[in-house]
Structure 1
Amino acid sequence: MKCYAQVSIIQVNANQQLNHIPYSLYGSCIEDVNHEIYGGLYDQRLYGESFEEPAKDGVSSMWIPMGEGSFAPDSTQAYNGSKCQLIINKGGIYNQGLNHWGIAVQKGQALEGSIYLKGSQPATIALQSADGRTTYASTKTGPVTNAWKKCSFELKPNATDSNARFAIYTAGEGKLWLDQATLMAPKTARFKGLPIRKDIAVKMQEEGLRFLRYGGTMVNAPGYRWKKMVGPRDQRPPYKGHWYPYSSNGFGILEFLQFCEAAGFDAAFAINIEETAADARDLVEYLKGSANTTWGRKRIADGHPAPYKVKYIEIGNEEVLFDGDRADQYAHYIERFNELYDAIHSKDTSLQLVCSVWWRAESPNTEKLFNAIDGKAAFWDLHVGGDDPREGLKVDKDLTQMEALFKKWNPHTTMKCAIFEENGGLHNQQRALGHASILNAVRRHGEFVLTSCAANALQALHQNDNGWDQGQIFFTPASVWGVPPFYATKMAAANHLPIVCKSTTDTTLDVTATISEDGNTIVLHIVNAFNKPCEAQVMLNHYKARNATICQLSDAVYTEHTTTADKLKYTFPPASYTIIRYEN
């Protein structure tokens, strides 16, 4: 027998409209760049981290030795980075893709790639079965010399295999050095001409994302600098990362902007706070400059003639978090923010800067920081939780407090909030409810909040190296799919209306109501965070509806149906997110 909550009322007053909700509300965050991008958006982009990963048996841990030869990392001959791979006599190496999962190949679909070689013997480049017994495609490199030479190739497999391997080997005597190996997905599997997996990019569009943030703790790594992210990818210097030992810089700020431009997402990216003022000025010139400027010409040479339409730049990521509430670190951030602000705005005053300092409402250092950057920072990045199905209640309180403090410290301030990370350790129905309740909280605060980005945008299946098992879209080499938080975002984005209107309820349901500009459509977003059903009567004031469409995420299953709108009585399932859309 079902145990119903007491029948009560959700009441919406369409006459009492509050404020506008930004269209950019529905966002996500690309944070774990090293593996999510190289294994995901870039598919089989096998840099081997310039062979910088710790060696085992003389070979980078990204690769596996094969054959009878001997192997060694060479720190004196590298084409790019500090090490390259040396193979002596008959032998080779092979790569099985991200997490050694295997590489997905399809019969007749050509993969393109390149590798840098030098030495005294040529190599064979091949796609093989996992055990190496069957070769699906191969090519010879031709003669090599004692100078590094880029060898470009195409491999068209004669069979389909989701668990193939990419091999480079030699059959002769002598030495062969290898560096910067790349294997790209077939052209038909790439997104709009970019070296990005089409299926993943399309899935992100399908989610309904309006906003994408590129940031996270990788930004805090000393080697994270924007000038290392431009120019030919195989010539970019790798750097020591945070969650993972090395980043090859194959997917940087500029690839991120190209992707957002092609996908139709508003983009925000972060820079390290230790970037120099000169480099910050050069960054703006690269982003916006004409062919008459030094860095504008470099952007054009990198294949993007038009200026980027980027609006938002974040200064740092989660600053002053890790060492606690220290006045000296706040002071250092103030110094760095103001210097970078002056440099960036000397080139383009339209760029909006985001403060990344960890929000501590009770700290006097927070007020000092606000006063120092007020009028310069357009937004303060607030990071929140996401696993609690009623997380929105806490976020609502935090936003109310933040907005009140901003107005207390300066009644005329224009600074607002951007939630660039909703964090947690889950990707199930519970996390979907947490995300939906946060979106409800953000709607209540209207234009004060630019966006709410659920971390992470992507996650490789079974990869949880850093303890944040919270992807919205999951992938393997051959497939991609959304999980419950993905569908919560998709539902909300598909039913976005720009104006919040007054709603009240005496139930335990979490409800927001929005209305279209012309007043013809009303949408209710309803979260039942509890493990029992709740029956409620829905009443609309000053609005006459013909019908109601109900879409719902319950038990991690999405459903949709249409019902009569007059005096709608509805039982909201336990642990569910429901949207009711009225049309008149």
Structure 2
Amino acid sequence: MNAAKQAARVTVGTEVSEHTVSPYLFGHFIEDIDDHMPAMLAYPLRNMDFEEEDRDADGVSGCWYPLGFGKHARFALEPAARGHGGHSQKIRLFNKDRCAAGIGQRVQAEAGVPYRLRIIARATREIAKLHVKLTDRGTGELLGFLELGIRSHRWEELAGSLSATRSCADAELQVWAVPLPAAEWEDSVSTGLVWFDHVSLLPERETGLLKKEVFEMAGELNAGIMRLGGNVISLYHWEDFVGPTDLRPNYVNEAWEEAGHVHKYFGTDEFVALCRQLGVEPQICVNAGTGTAEEAARWVEYCNGGADTEMGAFRAANGHPEPYGVKYWEIGNEMYGPWQAGVCSPEQYADLYLSFAEAMKAKDRSIRLLGCGTARDSLAPGWNRKVLERAGHAMDYFTLHIYQGSNFFPIDAGTPGPDRFKAMVAFPEVVRSLFGEVEELLRSRDELKHVKIAVTEWNAMYFPNPDFPNAHTLEAAVANACMLNEMMRQSGLVRIANFSDLVNGWVGGCIRVGDAYERMKKPGWSGKEGIVFGTATYHLMKMYAGRKPHRLVETNVVCDTFDAGPSKLPLNLNGLKKVDVVGCLSENRDALTLFIVNRSLDRIALTCDLSPWRPADGAVVRELAGPDYEARNTVWEPDALREEVRGAGLTDSRWEGELRPHSVCVLEVPLHVASPVPSRIG
């Protein structure tokens, strides 16, 4: 690291791009991976339908456990209610024990938040009522109580409201079956029985089924578009996850060992509803692994067909009479990868794509289709060329999944930090090469020239590191800022991008709920399971998308350079500029924004010459910076890194400031209405 401050200069020209910067470049991604769904959704209980097996040989499903002091009480799993998945949880009480019995589950309770309690149960006549309690596991203190009568030997739904008198991170939900007084019944063949098929809590303040904090943070991202997809989609049959949630089956998530069951409470209807509440466009990836073209076509009709169509009528019967109008449909997820259910050759995929496209377009000609490409040719040599030659004419977008880091550089946990940093921030040069290869294929054939690129998964990806979540760091945010800059530069070609993931899931999720990450840290190790916070990249994405860039403005950057080191790609990554800049004009031409990344470990004195644009008063600079490139937000310091905003005084249409090491700045400059009419580029 150089002790002396370096200098850089940015000159903003008047040429403006013909194309716009798509708001969909700031999209995000929801997938049922690891703890993504439980962390995102507002349900505090797990295993609500007793779908999990009896792991402890105590007769009780999964994370539930038996309660009671009766010597003879029996617990067992039985087949579920008619039409339901999972199991039902049976408890048998004996009069001679003279006591109640029940089931419990550890939960976090929050004061001042009424919870909607819902139970599906049945019982013999000896069980007169249920007592539902919230208690402090450590002290036994009663925090909340509700009594429900149970009247039927047939399945019935019981509901009520439960509140905690105080917040408790280590609480317990208890559901007790309370028998009639001992004098009113005797033990016999079929007495003292109660069955539970569903027990759930849902905070009344949830929005779109999300935790309130998660929903608010997701809204602040201004995502533009939200993708539903991932590896699990190749094993996902959408028709099982619409309609009444009680009747949706319980499936083991075959794509991810640690994910448990597919979260049946968040299906198509819930996903589209969330997108509408967030004000973003829904983007759906269909099952091309174990699904069929007909299944995908029915999904299109369910979302977009009128109520006079078969699937549109099905949607209307589920409470949604108006078509959803889902425009963007992706056919298959990473079909080239050996980890993907239904992995195939490029020729097989191209033929499969064409059959899916024909069936889906027959249901709605207006939809836009995304075909599967790869950013790693070594996984399936020639994939992109073969797929595009065979099926590209029927595509609107060609997808890439780009995870910068050990995929493209020989870095691991033993790589010195400064060397790793330089490799990570060479993101623009890596993706410029990848985009260029695809663009060359698209430009080589007339029938492909309409096709655009959609980066439907992207992030900084590191080597497995059980001791340190690298993807949460400022370094990752700086690398991701470089990626956003390059996608804006390439926005004539790149029109959609989905950051991976929105919440938890693998270690890259930008909204963090609790203290777990990936398969490396189990929940509860810090005692802060309920905390919700954003990574450095969360604050970066919010800072960028919130500026709503509309068209590119030419910039010229003069600064020092660095060498990124060897790559796994045939690239020369020497002499890269330390300062990466993109200039953008607002839609009304009343603001100029510079997105500035210092991708070095040095302080840099920066001069920005804005003189052609007649700046007005009120310029501000937004900065994401920290004391070290490995700095990150944690459960103990959730706001250590966040956007800082300050005024930016201009002198003679110039801004002079200092770029802190490994930092991102966004300079916003209001413009006089009489700014010159720009010439066009691109």
TM-score (normalised: structure 2): 0.77
Partner residue, 1:99: none
Q: Unaligned 5+ residue runs, structure 1?
A: 97-101, 470-474
323 and 114 in structure 1: CA distance in 2 versus 1, 3 angstrom threshold = closer
SS at match of 2:89: strand
Using the TM superposition, name which of 30-39 and 493-502 deviates more. 30-39
Matches within 5 A, 1:446-465: 446-459=491-504, 460-465=513-518
**Structure 1 residue 337 displacement after superposition:** 1.8
Cα pair 1:237 1:248 within 8 Å, conserved: no
**Structure 1 residue 293 displacement after superposition:** 2.4
365 and 42 in structure 1: CA distance in 2 versus 1, 3 angstrom threshold = same
Cα pair 1:208 1:490 within 8 Å, conserved: yes
- Matched residue type, 1:465: E
Partner residue, 1:71: 75
**Structure 1 residue 339 displacement after superposition:** 1.9
Cα pair 2:392 2:448 within 8 Å, conserved: no
1:186-237 CA-partner distances (Å, limit 9, x unpaired): 2xx122xx4332321111111222221111122123xx11101110112101
For 1:457 and 1:353, locate their aligned partners in 2 and report how far apart those are by CA, in whole Å: 23
Cα pair 1:374 1:413 within 8 Å, conserved: no
For 1:50 and 1:270, locate their aligned partners in 2 and report how far apart those are by CA, in whole Å: 29
1:88 and 2:92 correspond: yes
Of Structure 1 and Structure 2, the greater strand share is in 1
Partner residue, 1:436: 481
Matches within 5 A, 1:37-76: 37-44=37-44, 46-56=46-56, 57-68=58-69, 69-75=73-79
Partner residue, 2:400: 382
Q: 1:524 aligns with which of 570, 580, 594?
A: 594
- Matched residue type, 1:227: E
Partner residue, 1:472: none
**Structure 1 residue 394 displacement after superposition:** 1.2
1:400 and 2:471 correspond: no
Matches within 5 A, 1:103-142: 103-107=108-112, 109-120=113-124, 121=127, 122-131=129-138, 133-142=140-149
1:93-131 CA-partner distances (Å, limit 9, x unpaired): 1122xxxxx322324x42112222233235322322224
Q: 1:558 aligns with which of 629, 643, 657?
A: 643
How many residues were matched structurally? 566
Query: Share of identical aligned residues, percent?
Result: 22
Partner residue, 1:311: 327
1:523-580 CA-partner distances (Å, limit 9, x unpaired): 1111112111112322236322234321110012422222332332322110100111
**Structure 1 residue 385 displacement after superposition:** 1.8
- Matched residue type, 1:234: D
Largest Rg, 1 or 2 = 2
SS at match of 1:322: coil
SS at match of 2:295: helix
For 1:33 and 1:131, locate their aligned partners in 2 and report how far apart those are by CA, in whole Å: 32
Partner residue, 2:565: none
Q: Unaligned 5+ residue runs, structure 2?
A: 94-99, 180-190, 406-423, 463-470, 505-512, 560-577, 627-640, 672-682
Partner residue, 1:254: 269
**Structure 1 residue 79 displacement after superposition:** 5.8
- Matched residue type, 2:319: G
Cα pair 1:14 1:540 within 8 Å, conserved: no
318 and 22 in structure 1: CA distance in 2 versus 1, 3 angstrom threshold = same
- Matched residue type, 2:430: K
1:493-526 CA-partner distances (Å, limit 9, x unpaired): 1222211121121222011111234544221111
Q: 1:364 aligns with which of 353, 375, 382?
A: 382
40 and 269 in structure 1: CA distance in 2 versus 1, 3 angstrom threshold = same
**Structure 1 residue 150 displacement after superposition:** 2.3
**Structure 1 residue 436 displacement after superposition:** 0.8
**Structure 1 residue 28 displacement after superposition:** 1.4
Q: 1:229 aligns with which of 222, 241, 245?
A: 241
Cα pair 1:51 1:73 within 8 Å, conserved: no
Partner residue, 1:422: 458
Using the TM superposition, name which of 2-11 and 242-251 deviates more. 2-11
140 and 205 in structure 1: CA distance in 2 versus 1, 3 angstrom threshold = same
1:543 and 2:604 correspond: no
Cα pair 2:43 2:200 within 8 Å, conserved: no
- Matched residue type, 1:329: S
557 and 289 in structure 1: CA distance in 2 versus 1, 3 angstrom threshold = closer
Matches within 5 A, 1:242-321: 242-243=255-256, 244-273=259-288, 274-321=290-337
**Structure 1 residue 46 displacement after superposition:** 4.1
1:355 and 2:360 correspond: no
**Structure 1 residue 445 displacement after superposition:** 0.6
157 and 327 in structure 1: CA distance in 2 versus 1, 3 angstrom threshold = closer
SS at match of 1:7: strand
418 and 455 in structure 1: CA distance in 2 versus 1, 3 angstrom threshold = same
Partner residue, 2:466: none
TM-score (normalised: structure 1): 0.89
**Structure 1 residue 380 displacement after superposition:** 1.9
For 2:583 and 2:224, locate their aligned partners in 1 and report how far apart those are by CA, in whole Å: 20
Partner residue, 1:147: 154
Using the TM superposition, name which of 54-63 and 373-382 deviates more. 54-63
For 1:347 and 1:246, locate their aligned partners in 2 and report how far apart those are by CA, in whole Å: 31
